[in-house]
Amino acid sequence: MSTNVGMIDRALRAIVGLALIGWALTGGPIWAWIGVVPLLTAALGFCPAYTLFGLNTCPAKKV
pLDDT tens, position by position, 36-53: 999 999 999 999 999 999
Q: pTM for this structure?
A: 0.86
d(CA 17, CA 27): 16
- Is the pLDDT at 63 greater than 70, yes or no? no
pLDDT classification of 21: cutoffs 50, 70, 90: very high
- The per-residue pLDDT for 61 is 66
pLDDT tier, 1 (very low <50, low <70, confident <90, very high otherwise): confident
Taking residues 18-28, report their average pLDDT.
Answer: 98
User: In Å, how far are 14, 35, 45 from 27, measured between CA atoms?
Assistant: 20, 14, 29
Alpha helices in the chain (DSSP H): 7-25, 36-44, 48-53
